[in-house]
Amino acid sequence: MSHLTGKVAIVTGSSKGIGAGIAERLAADGARVVVNYSRSAETAAVVVRRIVVAGGEAIAVKADLSKPEQVAPLIDAAVKTFGCLDILVNNAGVYEADSLDTLTAETFDAHFHLNVRGLLLATQAAARVLRSGGVIVNISSGLAKSPYPMVHVYCATKGAVDTLTRSLGMELGPRGIRVVGIAPGFVATEGNAESAKGMTDFLVAKTALGRVGQPKDIAAAVAYAVSDDAAWVTGCTVDVAGGMVF
């Protein structure tokens, strides 16, 4: 497939997991991709290498989106390297278990500074250069609608993301820019391998299609969201969870 040929995409937090899957799928569909990472240059380089070996174009750019001063340089890098920006996938996020006994002001800030403020500031910076026909995809979670008490703050951030998807879709719609949310269910990634230990059977039992999701499942939904087939879709969040009821 090459329906994204000529397009430029940034996928935040794409050195591994869902983000890496999204970056590779968009590249396979023809987009030139910025693989964003905040810590490991090595893992980001692996994703870039896989894209290039498969015939695509990609670069890795370091930026910690929880730090406001690092947001604009990420957007600038895409424009400087590839000449424009058409797609922003807000995937970067932090997930930590908490409870009323364990959460702190610091853990609250860590979640909201990246999952919400970072997403909004990245969207703000991208919106300054996105052309008509551009698309912003916000990676949410099924936990936004069905929260669990052991992840209060994370759930709250994803509820905020869903709200922003709606309000940003309304603001950017007149410019021909769409904003679409994708809410994954339980997906097998490096990040949740430890946190989900012992819970896989429980979570699969709550999933109508009876299996754990894979990054490629989410990537396929993002590929649809940024395609012309979704030209009438904006301001909403789509569940991509195998029918899971959290």
Report pLDDT for 246: 72
pTM (2 decimals)? 0.95
Judge contact between 185 and 213, C-beta under 8 A: yes
How many domains does the structure of the chain reveal? 1
137: closest CA among 160, 168, 106? 168
Residue of 245 and 216 predicted with greater confidence:
216
Report if residue 1 sits inside a domain: no
Evaluate if residue 1 carries a pLDDT over 60: no
CATH of the domain at 198: 3.40.50.720
Give the tens place of pLDDT for each residue, 75-124. Answer: 999 999 999 999 999 999 999 999 999 999 999 999 999 999 999 999 99
- Does 3 reside within a domain? no
What's the pLDDT tens digit per position in 38-69?
999 999 999 999 999 999 999 999 999 999 99
The distance from CA 21 to its chain's CA centroid, rounded to whole angstroms, is 10
CB atoms within 10 A of CB 236: 12
- Is 172 within the bounds of a domain? yes
Tell me the residue range of the domain where 36 lies: 8-240
Tell me the catalytic residues: 154
* 224 in a structural domain: yes
Side chain identity at residue 51, one-letter code: I
Q: What share of the chain has pLDDT > 90, as a percent?
A: 89
User: What CA–CA distances, in Å, run from 161 to 53, 91, 92, 235, 236?
Assistant: 34, 11, 12, 11, 11
| Half-sphere exposure of residue 11: CA atoms within 13 angstroms, side-chain side | 31
Nearest to 93 by CA among 71, 121, 65: 65
Predicted confidence at residue 190, as pLDDT, reads 80
In tens, the pLDDT along 169-214 reads 999 999 999 999 999 999 998 866 555 667 888 899 999 999 999 9
Check residue 48 and give its pLDDT. Answer: 98
